[in-house]
Amino acid sequence: MSTTDNAATSSYTPAHNDFTAISINSFKAYDIRGELGVSLDEDIAYRIGRAFAQILSQRYDSAGANDDGIKNPDSLANLQPAIVIGSDIRHSSEQLKQATIAGIMAAGVDVIDLGMTGTEEVYFATSHYQALGGIEVTASHNPINYNGLKLVKEHSKPISADDGLAEIQQLAESGRFTVSNSQGKLQLLTDKSAYVDHVMSFVDTDKLKPLKLVINSGNGSAGPVVDLLVDKLAQAGAPIEVIKLHHKPDGSFPNGIPNPMILANRTATQQAVIEHKADLGIAFDGDFDRCFLFDENGEFIDGSYVVGMLAQAFLNKYPGESIVYDPRVVYNTEAVVKAHNGKTVISKSGHSFIKQVMRESGAIYGGEMSAHHYFRDFCYCDSGMIPWLLTIELLSITGKTLSELVTGYISDYPSSGELNFHLTDHDAPTIIKDIEEKFSDQNPTKSTLDGLSLDFGDWRFNLRASNTEPLIRLNIESRGDEPLLAMKVQEVQQWLAQQGAVPA
């Protein structure tokens, strides 16, 4: 469905236009997240929408042609003065979206409402409609009493605390909004066909072999998009059978918050894979910007090995391309990229860093062990739908099962998985400084790109403070030596416990 109504307006109306200064503590490193009624409500969403629109429109108004009179295709001057917005299935999301829309329109900026969406649909639509920016109202995998907003600027570029988010926060808090001479217009454009066609362009459906999939949408926003993609596969004659689990979007989350990183939340997908004798299990978080895979035995595949697998898939198609990855777990990715004649490019973890490094290097693909996967041909953004399509294509082309594809990775480069700790006695910088001193006599190769990485040749670890939670995160890996890995995990964990670090 696609509807245009320039007379439409938001269902939210601010109580007054005299905005006193307030404090908003829902701004984080990369996005906005907070407890409903405590650090995020409709009034705050209105302020954020209005501040975001005012700042973007001021930048747009000052943009123009290059000195030679030729417009730069990446210039703001080629965009339309509009902001796209979508929201997930949470019960509070529609109200927060309406308040955000009211704020954008009060700033004199047009709005394109995409309806219920996943975050990647906003990424796509921001570039597709050549909009000034985009907003997804979502709390992703956070508890049910939370919500938030994810923001991007022109060409789907990320906004972080160091690159625009702090400015938006300051304006939203101050309430010193410019009075617009006109009200922005609202359009409802819910047709997903352009997005779905683009996602499907990443695979060759003629190469797909018979496969049975279990797809767990977690009662989040993924269900409608999964339906559209499965229909496209059927229309193309692809012999793909899909068992849909927890498929209906339901903001009460009757089967629990969709977060496959929680061990208990994996059980339903694992059992369904085994029960249906499926070739692959797929699960999403609430806004489906992350994709989690299970092999034919129901075994969960750690995200770092999925990065290596997708790097291989791209390098088979596009030899010599660059692959971006983060420093938490590196051995397998570096080995795969080298074996397939690609170029390795390491980046600090976090979507804004990965995307920036990908743009600078022109990398075709970037991946994080946290199950975020980024694609050059998807506006350098992360997608949860593209990875599983690439995986079924790779299974079809190789004739291998998923376990066969990743078993070599896991045995050659075993890893601990991410271990999280709360700190009680020391702060993260102190812990990181002290652990560097502990191992200094072994002369490891050191990197401080993201926290602290120490490489001892046959094993390495990365210890870093979380960008989004009050935690410190540990990853340890070895070169094909499980006993060494187990010994080093125990050693580092015991040392952290002595420093007052409690497993999260």
The SS3 call for residue 376 is helix
The CATH number of whichever domain residue 425 belongs to comes to: 3.30.310.50
Same structural domain for residues 40 and 148?
Answer: yes
- What are the pLDDT digits (tens) for 214-248? 999 999 999 999 999 999 999 999 999 999 999 99
Using the 3D structure, point to which of 378, 409, 440 is the last residue of a domain.
Answer: 409
How many C-beta atoms lie closer than 10 Å to residue 38's C-beta?
11
**Alpha carbons 243 and 235: distance in angstroms, whole number:** 18
Same structural domain for residues 259 and 389?
Answer: no
**Alpha carbons 440 and 23: distance in angstroms, whole number:** 44
Determine the pLDDT at residue 10: 87
200 lies in a domain?
no
Determine the pLDDT at residue 7: 54
Bridge partners (DSSP) of residue 83 are 111, 133
Catalytic residues: 140
Q: Compute the C-alpha angle 320/446/460, nearest 5°.
A: 75
307 lies in a domain?
yes
125 lies in a domain?
yes
**Alpha carbons 43 and 175: distance in angstroms, whole number:** 11
205 lies in a domain?
no
Same structural domain for residues 278 and 405?
Answer: no
**Alpha carbons 380 and 210: distance in angstroms, whole number:** 31
Same structural domain for residues 235 and 274?
Answer: yes
Same structural domain for residues 387 and 472?
Answer: no
Using the 3D structure, point to which of 279, 300, 321 is the last residue of a domain.
Answer: 300
Same structural domain for residues 58 and 132?
Answer: yes
Same structural domain for residues 145 and 250?
Answer: no
Domain that holds residue 49: 2-192
The CATH number of whichever domain residue 126 belongs to comes to: 3.40.120.10
201 lies in a domain?
no
Determine the pLDDT at residue 64: 54
What is the per-residue DSSP string for 274-337?
Answer: HHHT-SEEEEE-TT--SEEEE-TTSPBPPHHHHHHHHHHHHHHHSTT-EEEE-SSS-HHHHHHH
Kindly compute the dihedral angle of the four CA atoms of residues 49, 53, 55, 57, in this order, to the nearest 10 degrees: 180
The residues near 467 (Cβ < 8 Å, ≥ 6 apart) are 28, 29, 30, 349, 350
206 lies in a domain?
no
The number of residues making up the chain comes to 504
Same structural domain for residues 346 and 312?
Answer: yes
The SS3 call for residue 462 is strand
Are the C-beta atoms of 32 and 151 separated by less than 8 Å?
Answer: yes
The domain tally of the chain equals 4
Backbone angles phi, psi at 417, to 5 degrees: 75, 165
Determine the pLDDT at residue 360: 97
202 lies in a domain?
no
Instruction: Report the candidate in 67, 140, 77 with the shortest Cα–Cα distance to residue 371.
Output: 140
Same structural domain for residues 87 and 144?
Answer: yes
Same structural domain for residues 14 and 123?
Answer: yes
142 lies in a domain?
yes
Counting as low any pLDDT under 50, the low residues of the chain are: 1-2, 6, 65-71
Same structural domain for residues 109 and 188?
Answer: yes
Site of tokens 């030596």: 481
Determine the pLDDT at residue 68: 41
**Alpha carbons 390 and 203: distance in angstroms, whole number:** 6
Using the 3D structure, point to which of 356, 386, 409 is the last residue of a domain.
Answer: 409
Same structural domain for residues 101 and 132?
Answer: yes
Determine the pLDDT at residue 108: 97
Full-model pTM: 0.94
